[in-house]
Amino acid sequence: MSTAFMPVESKDASLGVKLYLGTSAAVVLLMMLVGLLMRAAQAGWLEIPPNIFYQLMTAHGAGMVGIAGLAGAGIMWHFLSRYVQLSATALYINYGLFLSGVVLILGSIFWGGFAGAWTFLWPLPAKSMGLWSADAAASFTLGLLLIGVGFLVFNLEAGLAITRRYGSVLRGLGLDQLWSGQIRSDHPPTVVASSMVVIVNTMGILAGAVILVVTLANLYFPEWVINPLLAKNLIYFFGHVFINATIYMSVMAVYELLPVYAGRPWKVSRPFYAAWAAATVFVMAVYPHHLLLDGVMPASLLVLGQIVSYLSGIPVLLVTTYGALLLVYRSGIQWQTPALWLMLAMFGWAGGVIPAIVDGTIHVNKVMHNTLWVPGHFHFYLLIGLLPMVIGFGLHITSLHKALNDSLHRAFFYLYFAGSIVFCVAFLAGGWASVPRRFAQHWPEWQVYGHIGSLSALLVIVTMLGLVVVLIRRLLERNHGTTA
């Protein structure tokens, strides 16, 4: 790793990262419980009225996407602050706006009855058929807008700091070295990844802000309208970019911490720069694969969505996963629990991409997209890919070195691994059997997938509860140790 510029974190920034990590751990656990309720209802073990089910689905979807972003932002801030000078004010502004947005969203759902899903597809927020009011829809929309503004502040601060240090965000991405061929091996991978996140997330959030403002205005001024197809494109561009950025922020934990355990530096190279430059383009170009069932979409965009679906997972995933394997090969790595979590994340990221690529094929998409195959993909991607990055990061920065390899932590790891694999496979198997997604109630023939999913989800939640207790207890300690 580069030691050319590694300033000590300020106390304010350290407190901010603790807030991000602690809040993320608690909310993830709560959203898992919500998910268990929905899965148990589909299994026939609970009776949940459909309107309540879709309120829970809305809270679960929006909550998991938002909290994944908060967790990733905490990781990005922690490591990027080693190389550039960041203002903690932006960190707290983002946190404050996030909490304000969460309050508005929860109020809209559980007090106002909003159940339009996190996608808030136009013109659904204003066409509730009496299930929720315009005020409830406005509260949900405004909550998302506040969260988006907070993340925009966060990304602008990161972009400005990278520009001050390296001259521009594109230089932070390493494009100048890629074009010139003069590779500086001490350029931090974290700066490369952060530059990519700043570019794509800023574009995605701005697109989301446009449709959120228009939706908000339409709720009170119905004559203000937008083309529904354009609205859907804006929503899915925003959503796809944001959720992908969460794992690109979180993967910085792999770049920074795995070398600590392997005792080897993670050096950049021309393929590394090329991969991140390609990913910057692909993440913004691939979103039409969410719209393959929309026959009114321009055919060229649908073809683009399919082709880029095949390509988008390759560049960064390849250099990161292959790089991680090379890093640990014959390194004598200390397989303490944070390192185990980080390697599990590599498996989850690689494995989660495969069902996504399958679903990104137009002819397959026509059959599989509205089945449990899709939640199987993104639960695999997030539950076994992103979340282990966050857990590994959290255990590392809050644990004394001697406590990183105890039997309890290792038991948590193996139980989580087993439960999450079975949980995701139950979703994928249900999709393979054409069980529809987003159904509040399942026919008896479908319920076996819910039975397996509910039991495995319970195992994951029990394990996660133990991890959250450990993390929060250590976060509250004044003088915890750190190995990085």
- Give the whole-angstrom CA distance, residue 260 versus residue 404: 13
Q: Does residue 484 form part of some domain?
A: no
57 Cβ neighbours under 8 A, 6+ residues apart: 38, 115, 117, 438
Say if CB 344 and CB 388 are below 8 A apart: yes
CATH number of the domain at 206, please: 1.20.210.10
Q: Does residue 204 form part of some domain?
A: yes
Confidence label for 483 from pLDDT (cuts 50, 70 and 90): very low
Share of the chain above pLDDT 90, in %: 68
- Give the whole-angstrom CA distance, residue 360 versus residue 288: 9
Give 249: exposed, middle or buried? Use CB within 10 Å, 0-12, 13-18, 19+.
Answer: buried
- CA distances to 133, 135, 225, 359 from 218, rounded to whole Å, are 13, 12, 6, 33
Q: Does residue 482 form part of some domain?
A: no
Mean local confidence (pLDDT), 118-133: 91
Q: Does residue 431 form part of some domain?
A: yes
Output phi, psi for 436, to 5 deg: -70, 150
Place of tokens 């649908």: 302
Helix (H, G, I), strand (E, B) or coil at 269: coil
The highest-confidence range among 93-97, 267-271, 473-477, by mean pLDDT, is 93-97
Q: How many domains does the chain have?
A: 1
Host domain of residue 15: 11-476
Q: Comparing C-alpha atoms, which of 128, 350, 97 is closest to residue 218?
A: 128
Residue 251 pLDDT > 50: yes
Confidence label for 10 from pLDDT (cuts 50, 70 and 90): very low
- Give the whole-angstrom CA distance, residue 12 versus residue 157: 16
The mean of the pLDDT values for the chain is 90
- Give the whole-angstrom CA distance, residue 211 versus residue 141: 10
Lowest-pLDDT range, 72-76, 118-122, 404-408?
Answer: 404-408
Say if CB 424 and CB 384 are below 8 A apart: yes
Say if CB 98 and CB 21 are below 8 A apart: no
At 417, the amino acid letter reads F
pLDDT given for residue 4 in this prediction: 34
Confidence label for 393 from pLDDT (cuts 50, 70 and 90): very high
Confidence label for 2 from pLDDT (cuts 50, 70 and 90): very low
Mean local confidence (pLDDT), 7-27: 74
Query: What are the CB-based long-range contacts (under 8 Å, 24+) for 286-292?
Result: 286/240, 286/312, 287/233, 287/236, 287/237, 287/240, 287/241, 288/233, 289/359, 289/360, 289/365, 290/236, 290/239, 290/240, 291/232, 291/233, 291/236, 292/360, 292/362, 292/365, 292/366, 292/369
Q: Does residue 2 form part of some domain?
A: no
Q: Does residue 481 form part of some domain?
A: no
Residue 35 pLDDT > 80: yes
pLDDT given for residue 7 in this prediction: 32
Tell me: the pLDDT tens digits for 437-481? Answer: 999 999 999 999 999 999 999 999 999 999 999 888 888 875 444
Say if CB 50 and CB 441 are below 8 A apart: yes
Query: What are the CB-based long-range contacts (under 8 Å, 24+) for 211-214?
Result: 211/122, 211/235, 211/238, 212/141, 212/144, 212/145, 212/148, 213/145
Tell me: the pLDDT tens digits for 293-338? Answer: 888 989 888 888 888 888 877 777 778 888 888 888 888 887 888 9
Q: Does residue 1 form part of some domain?
A: no
Mean local confidence (pLDDT), 42-52: 95
Tell me: the pLDDT tens digits for 139-161? Answer: 999 999 999 999 999 999 999 99
Q: Does residue 483 form part of some domain?
A: no
pLDDT given for residue 314 in this prediction: 77
